[in-house]
């Protein structure tokens, strides 16, 4: 799966020096955090949108950077109240996207239709093998 953000997106947000403070010697920490953030976003977006997204909206990229920074701070034991509050706000936005109260401006995934009562109907073909059609075998 294609990630919703890149290391450069994180550098653009917090600067290279601040990123180095967060990751230290862990060269794969950024990739791991972006992967975690992408997976988390996919859990929410998959309820409403066709994945993978044809294009990644700026809002999704920003959410991915925010969530990745949260995971980087958590891994580095450098969690701040600001990082935690931004993460909670990002999750709230994802929940609203999943519910459809806010939109990415992209078409929703097609869902199975329901009848007017909101119940699922099962429609099948006529039964072929019956006692009568088998001529007394059963």
Residue 129 pLDDT: 72
Work out the average pLDDT over 21-40: 94
Residue 61 to residue 6: CA distance in whole angstroms:
9
**67-80 burial string, b = 16+ CB within 10 Å, else e?**
bbbbbbbebeeeee
* Residue spans per domain, the chain: 7-99
- The model's pLDDT over 55-74, given as tens digits with 9 standing for 90+, comes to 999 999 999 999 999 999 98
How far from 94 is each of 18, 64, 91, CA to CA, in Å?
26, 11, 5
Residue 111 pLDDT: 54
Q: Is pLDDT larger for residue 25 or for residue 123? A: 25
Distance between alpha carbon 18 and the CA centroid of its chain, in Å? 27
Residue 106 pLDDT: 82
- The model's pLDDT over 84-137, given as tens digits with 9 standing for 90+, comes to 999 999 999 999 999 999 999 887 776 544 445 566 666 777 777 777 777 766
Work out the average pLDDT over 13-24: 93
């Amino acid at each position: 799966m294609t990630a919703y953000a890149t290391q450069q997106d994180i550098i653009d947000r917090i600067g290279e020096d601040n990123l180095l403070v967060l990751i230290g010697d862990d060269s794969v920490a950024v990739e791991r955090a972006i992967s975690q953030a992408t997976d988390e976003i996919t859990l929410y977006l998959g309820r409403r949108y066709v994945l993978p997204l044809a294009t990644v909206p700026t809002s999704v990229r920003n959410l991915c950077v925010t969530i990745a920074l949260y995971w980087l701070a958590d891994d580095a034991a450098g969690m701040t109240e600001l990082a935690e509050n931004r993460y909670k706000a990002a999750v709230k936005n994802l929940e609203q996207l999943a519910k459809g109260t806010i939109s990415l401006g992209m078409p929703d995934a097609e869902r199975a239709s329901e009848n007017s009562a909101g119940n699922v109907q099962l429609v099948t073909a006529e039964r072929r093998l019956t006692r009568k059609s088998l001529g007394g075998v059963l």
